[in-house]
Structure formats: C-alpha cells, structure tokens
Amino acid sequence: MQLSFWEKSQWFDNVDVVILGSGIVGLHSAYFIKKNNPRLNVIIIERGFLPYGASTRNAGFACIGSASEILNDLDKESEDNVFQRVEKRYKGLLGLRELLGDENIDFQQNSGFEIFTETDHNSFRECESKLEYLNTQLKFITKDKTYILSNECIEQFGLNKVENLIQNKFEGQLDTGKMMYVLAEKVRCLGVMILNGLEIKQIQNESNGVTLMTSEGFQINAGKVVICTNGFAKEFLSELSISPGRAQVLITSEIKHLKLRGSFHYQGGFYYFRNVNNRVLIGGGRNLDFQGETTTEFGLTQPIQASIENLLNEIILPDVEYKIEQRWSGIMGLGESKSPIIQEIEPNIYCAVRLGGMGLALGYLVGMEVAELINQNY
C-alpha cells in the first residue's frame, strides 16, 4: 500500500514518538510523554481494533496483592523488591483514580478478600502467623492495618466450604471497559493519535531515529519507539525475560439476591472472582497447565473452564441457579520476577513490559517512568 501525500503529511510526517500498544501501559505512557512535553508529536499504533492483550479483558481488580501472594513473592525475592512493588501498586491505583475519577470508572472500594477452604489449613496457618509481620511492613505504605481476619463475612457472602477469610480494605474493583475508554479519551484530548488495526512487522534502528515497517507495506519514521506490547513483547525483544500467560475468564448472567460483594483471591491468586453488580466474574486455573497457558493464542480449554465452573458450584454459588453468559481469555506478560521491565533497549528503542498480571495497578506509574526516560532525551 502506498500512502497519499495527504495521509503521509497528516499522520506520519515529523513523528517524535511511536508507542506500540494501546493498552494500559501504552496509554499512560502516551499521556505522560505528551503532558510533560506538549510539543512532541506522539502516536499510538495498535494492531487490534481494540487493545490486543489483557487491558480490556482483565477482571477489573484494583488490588495490591493478597497475603499468600506476597509471602510467596518473599520466598523468591528480597523484602525491598517485594514491598517496593506493593507500594507502586498502591500508589499507582491512587494515581489512576485521581486521573480518571472514581465515578467515571465505577470504582468501588468493596475490599479484597482471600479465601481459605477446608483443604487450605497449611496455607492459612502460614498467612495467619505472618499477618502481624505483613501489617508492620505495609503500614509504611497504607498507613493502617492492611490485613485482618473477617470470618464473620463468610456467611454474609454466601460462601460454602470456606473456613477462613482475610480482608484487605484497601482493595477494590472497577469497570475495565469504562477505565480504558476514559483513559483513551484523555490521551486523545492531549492531541495523541491512536491508530487501530495497523501492525508493525519490523523495527529498524537508524542513526537519526527508528524506521517501522507496517503490515500495509509502508514505513513510518520516528525519533523514538516505545514497545508496550507486554505478553507479545518477544516478537520484537526476543532476549527479554518475559513470557506470555493466558488467563481464562467467564461471567454469569444476573443473579437475583446475589450476596457476594468484593474482589476475592484463592490459591495464591491463581483463581480470582468478584461481583459485577449482580453477576459473578471468575477467572484463573492457569496453574493447572502452565505449559499450555504459556501462549499468545486466545482461547479456552475444557479442563480450566471446568475447574472454574466447579469453583462456582461448590464454593461461590452453592445451590444457586445461574447461567454463564460469556467466556473469554486475555494474554498477560509474565516472568521470573513480577517487576516490570522499563528500559532503553538500544538507542531510540524503549520498552515497558512484563506487568505480571498487575497492569491495572502498575500502569500509571510505569507510564510516568517511561515519560521520564523519553523526556531525558528530548
């Protein structure tokens, strides 16, 4: 395809920064780059008609991490790394809410809860024994006690076979679709153009910038490019320590007199569920088939969907009639560490990837960090 003079001059001449990916990180990066330096010409290129990954496909958890998740992380990483990451999640959520407004994204601080069933005694005992330690460490972040036992809520939520419940009052939930729509509008209002349905096949570093070859056969010249494709990053950055991780999700139709309220974590966060008004959204099960779920292919598998439905029937909605309305999947960016990779890969080529399933909480601050990197060189 050959561009016309008008197309080239209007959309692709004098581009300072190209951002690949219009997800949470791509939009935040564009917002802060343009906000900090309005004279820059910034465009976002997205190969899907909507963000292609997990940004519009996640569960809408505004969370910082359950007790068992943080303890598992502490087995693998230093205290400094783990709690600095939790602090970034906490501050990132506050920043996101301030930027977009709670009402605009339907934010509800209904708390996060970690459930422990009758077969999870060992896991619960470990968490219970470490709650005071976790609360002491996190008080510097949340300024209050973060985790408390809330077993009195088990019956209130209609849960079955659950023996213990740990509550985090600083967690909440939001409407992912509304959040992404409002954020995209914020970015457009700054003068950033979002081009959907255009795929970049190759990135070539030049002496005076970068050249991007498109799937349509024409090239785009820009000063710098920021790769924000998360789980798909290896297409351009094969050397990075990042892998795709598929997350499978379903949502029920509306349920009369639904008792469930809040965001819930189970089995170290490998399962998660919440109410969406009077529906139940539930996802997870990747731990049943790590190898099979390490993929960039969207799709559903019978064993994982069956495990999710079993959790619905046995624990969340016992003896409740419901219908499954939709099923879908999303692709996350994972790695040995849950800390994002934000760096200049080579001159003029940057990346902000590997959000570890926490893009919603981390995206705001990651975008700010990307903008600082870019603006140092303009």
* Amino acid of residue 163: E
Mean pLDDT for the stretch of residues 249-264 = 97
How do residues 123-166 score in pLDDT, each as one tens digit? 999 999 999 999 999 999 999 999 999 999 999 999 999 999 99
Contact present, 10 and 36 (Cβ < 8 Å): no
**Is the pLDDT assigned to residue 207 strictly greater than 90?**
no
> To which H or E segment does residue 204 belong?
strand 200-206
Q: What is the DSSP string of 113-174?
A: EEEEETT-HHHHHHHHHHHHHHHHHHHHHHSS--EEE-TTHHHHTT-SSEEEEEEETT-EE-
CATH 3.50.50.60 residue ranges for the chain: 5-56+177-239+337-375
Mean pLDDT rounded to a whole number for the chain: 96
211 forms beta bridges with 204, 221
CATH 3.30.9.10 residue ranges for the chain: 109-171+242-334
Q: What CA–CA distance (Å, rounded) separates 159 from 104?
A: 31
**Is the pLDDT assigned to residue 52 strictly greater than 90?**
no
pLDDT at 278: 97
Q: Is 328 exposed, middle or buried (0-12, 13-18, 19+ CB in 10 A)?
A: middle
How do residues 85-97 score in pLDDT, each as one tens digit? 999 999 999 999 9
**Is the pLDDT assigned to residue 377 strictly greater than 90?**
no
Architecture of the structural domain at 109-171+242-334: 2-Layer Sandwich (3.30)
How do residues 86-125 score in pLDDT, each as one tens digit? 999 999 999 999 999 999 999 999 999 999 999 999 999 9
**Is the pLDDT assigned to residue 1 strictly greater than 90?**
no
> To which H or E segment does residue 266 belong?
strand 263-266
Fold for 5-56+177-239+337-375, please state it.
FAD/NAD(P)-binding domain (3.50.50)
pLDDT at 378: 78
